[in-house]
Structure 1
Amino acid sequence: MIDPHQQFHDALDALDTAFAPLAELSVSVGGCTYCYSAADLEALAGPVPRVSDELISCVAHEAFNHWDDFPGLYRRLTPRIVRLLTADELDHSLVASRLLTADWQNWPAPERTALERLWHAWWRSALHTHPGIGHVTDILGVLSTTEGTSVPWLAIWAETRTEASDLHLRDALDRWLIEDDLADLHLGFYDELHVTPELLPWLLSLDDGRIGAAQLIEVERIADSQRAP
């Protein structure tokens, strides 16, 4: 069996390779001069590997209207942003929403494909390690929000029969069941994806024993309330 953790690290390297032509370019970067100094803008305009992690983090979270060309800037910085994201050093929901604003699904095919492969490798790696780096619901939120659906990620979770995977499921339900959040759960910083209609049927379809009795009672109660006239 191929080591999912090695696949994840290989996918990160492949992401760097796919974006390398952009990363080495010197471009013009215009932005908010109240929040960013001339030195910041100069650094962002130069080769991406030379930009500090601190500045990358600021841009990763910054509002899109701070930049003259937000999609172009975010695209150039994506491999660096994703490395920080997968290390649990950025706000998952905010980065997912920023990627949507940057229109990542319309980027050139090599870049888009590399990012999609990274998403898959990250997810499989996460499901094979508990505890892992970052909460499983945050990772699922990034993948589902950027793709516009949780269905393929939930399918992978269902077929991943590891102890780590089931422990992550317990942790996820602990979070989703707080104050009945599961009944109306949205993902993304701006609640772009209403995931309850996909998540509830999936939870109820899982094999017996994967959800603890007490949590299953709560899931079934919420599902019943959704069906009530």
Structure 2
Amino acid sequence: MHLADRPAGRRLSAALDDLAVTFRGMTARPDESNCTCHWGSPEELALLRTPDVELDPDLLRHTWQAVDWTDHAAVLRRILPQFAPVLVAGHAEPVFGLEEAGYSFARGRCWQEWPDDHAGPVREFLHAWLAHSVTDPEAVVPAHEVFAACAEASGTVGPWLAVWEAQTGALSDRRLAEAAAEWEYELLGDHLPWSVRWYEHDEEEMRAELVAWLLGHAATGSARRTRRRICSTGYGCSASPATTAGRIRTGPATATDERRPGRRVTRSRLSASPPGPVRRRPAQRVTARPSASPPGSVRRTRFRAWPRPGHSARRTDAAGGRSRRAP
């Protein structure tokens, strides 16, 4: 794929080339299997046992999303030379979010514990991908989505926050402000802004570290707009980052903590102005008037109510006649 001739683009291109060279010739296990109803046919499964054969996009997506491979690490190594460029190009097509791709990395039996000649190229690719998304104006995938994928792939946010902090300039600040806008609502409810699926990952620890970095990094001046977003609706936020805990909790939750995990914040609670009076709909008017009757006939009264939208008024005979719709 073509990447812009910028430092971040050249670094990412080199990382993709390194992945292709490192994992060239890799295959799935000879006895690898999966459900033919939900994954693919035996012929498609045989492609994973054949090195360097490109999979069609739909089969590739089913492969990295599947959770029941016998040896997911081997399958991941088999598809990485094709999977990584698809991620960079924004063609992964996850169901909910790009963190699903990170989950596929995490299922690879701790790729970080692979031999250095395998783990190193994967680590460099993730770092180069995030740096590219933060600093290159032509990056396809939003930086906050790449960040979530990297965090889910590694189970930590620290290294990826360091990558973001190392970038300077108006574009990286704008990317950070965009990320803050995407993350703010979930963080206010004491939730991580993406789904953590791998059982070994500590969601609360990642959330607390992310919040502390956002507040502290914004206070240093590189992204003050982020801090203004975080503090824009009050809750005791002042000029000092230490006082923003009332807005977004940074420590562990307690049983009486109104902002504990599981207690989500609604939009009405985010408003700084007090709620206005409740407006009630006026009651329906019902009028009764005598209907015109021929001389000598039984007197009947017709009742007519103002109809609700989508409903027709009914005419009821007081003498016990059947109700029928008014013409």
- Structure 1 residues 81 and 188: alpha-carbon distance in aligned structure 2, compared to 1, 3 A threshold: farther
> What's the counterpart of residue 79 of structure 1?
81
Q: What TM-score results when the alignment is normalised by the length of structure 2?
A: 0.61
Q: Percent identity?
A: 20
**Root mean square deviation, CA, Å:** 2.7
Q: Is the 1:169–1:211 contact (alpha carbons within 8 Å) kept by the matching residues of 2?
A: no
Give distance in 2, aligned partners of 1:37 and 1:123: 35
Match for residue 91 of structure 2? 89
Alignment of 1:170-209 (within 5 A): 170-178=177-185, 180-181=187-188, 183-185=190-192, 187-190=194-197, 192-194=201-203, 195-206=206-217, 207-208=220-221
For 1:61, the equivalent position in structure 2 comes to 65
Work out which of the residue numbers 224, 245, 248 in structure 2 matches 1:223: 245
Structure 1: distance between partners of 2:189 and 2:172: 19
8 Å CA contact 1:26–1:46 kept in 2: the answer is: no
Paired residues of 1:5 and 1:125 also in contact (CA < 8 A): yes
- SS in structure 2 at match of 1:80: helix
How many residues in Structure 1 have an aligned counterpart in Structure 2? 225
Distance 1:93 1:193, change over 3 A: farther
d(CA) in 2 for partners of 1:173, 1:227: 16
Preserved CA contact (<8 Å) 1:60 1:95:
yes
1:70 to 56, 68, 72: 72
Larger radius of gyration: 2
**Is the 1:150–1:198 contact (alpha carbons within 8 Å) kept by the matching residues of 2?**
yes
Shift in alpha-carbon separation, 1:117–1:211, aligned structure 2, 3 A: same
Residue 197 of structure 1 deviates from its aligned partner by: 1.0
Q: How far apart, CA to CA, are the structure 2 residues paired with 1:224 and 1:154?
A: 23
Q: Structure 1: give runs of 5+ residues left out of the alignment.
A: none
TM-score for the superposition, normalised by structure 1:
0.85
Distance 1:100 1:204 in 2: 28
Structure showing greater relative contact order (alpha-carbon pairs closer than 8 Å, 6 or more residues apart): 1
Alignment of 1:1-229 (within 5 A): 3-22=7-26, 27-35=30-38, 36-62=40-66, 64-65=67-68, 67-90=69-92, 91=94, 92-103=98-109, 104-130=111-137, 132-178=139-185, 180-181=187-188, 183-185=190-192, 187-190=194-197, 192-194=201-203, 195-206=206-217, 207-208=220-221, 210-212=223-225, 214-218=228-232, 221=237, 223-225=245-247, 226=249
Listed one character per residue, the Cα deviations across residues 25-71 of structure 1 (whole Å, up to 9, x for unaligned) are 89454221222112211222212333223211111112x22x33333
Question: Which letter does structure 1 place at the counterpart of 2:229?
Answer: Q
**Alignment-mate amino acid for residue 21 of structure 2:** T
Please report how far the alpha carbon of residue 171 of structure 1 lies from its aligned counterpart in structure 2 after TM superposition: 0.7
Deviations 1:112-159, CA, capped at 9 Å, x for gaps: 100001111111111112363112111111212222211121122123
Moved more, 112-121 or 157-166: 157-166
Deviates more, 1:68-77 or 1:135-144: 68-77
Q: Partners of 1:179 and 1:108 in 2: how far apart?
A: 37
Which amino acid in structure 1 is aligned with residue 37 of structure 2? Y
Cα deviation code 1:172-195 (max 9, x no counterpart): 011111254573215445274422
Question: The residue matched to 1:172 in structure 2 has which SS?
Answer: helix
Q: Secondary structure in 1 aligned to 2:190? A: helix
